[in-house]
């Protein structure tokens, strides 16, 4: 939503801002650690999972904004855009799997 306001100059209703605030508060509760005491020497660090969550939310915002711009300026149909996005994502994932040589099996 922030990316939509900043980059696509979109306007949203108060209701959408309220729902977004509720989601942000939910993520903040997820980050909150109740009852864990930290010593002076111990630093509070964001873990790998929290980093992935923030990255996923940021990329979701960027993707939505870019798709809206493409739909508006190039008159692309939503189904065609979804199909090509899925094909491109599958090719990138397949290339990554082949580079790791773990295409059809899982490793521990």
pLDDT digit string (tens) for 4-15?
777 777 788 999
- The average pLDDT across 80-99 equals 87
- The average pLDDT across 17-38 equals 78
Give the CB-side neighbour count of residue 53, counting CA atoms within 13 A: 12
What mean pLDDT, rounded, does the chain reach?
78
CA distance 53 to 56: 5
Q: Are 70 and 6 in contact (CB under 8 A)?
A: no
Q: Which of 37-41, 49-53, 94-98 has the lowest mean pLDDT?
A: 37-41
The burial class, CB within 10 Å (0-12 / 13-18 / 19+), for 7 is: middle
Q: Where residue 85 falls among pLDDT bands split at 50, 70, 90?
A: confident
């Amino acid at each position: 939503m922030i990316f939509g306001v900043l980059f696509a100059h979109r306007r949203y209703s108060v209701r959408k801002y309220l729902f977004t605030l509720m989601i942000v508060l939910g993520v903040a509760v997820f980050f909150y650690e109740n009852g864990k005491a930290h010593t002076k020497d111990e630093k509070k660090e964001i873990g790998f999972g929290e980093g992935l969550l923030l990255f996923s939310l940021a990329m979701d915002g960027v993707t939505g904004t870019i798709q809206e711009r493409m739909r508006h300026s190039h008159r692309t149909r939503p189904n065609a855009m979804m199909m090509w996005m899925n094909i491109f994502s599958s090719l990138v994932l397949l290339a990554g799997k082949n580079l790791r040589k773990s295409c059809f099996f899982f490793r521990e």
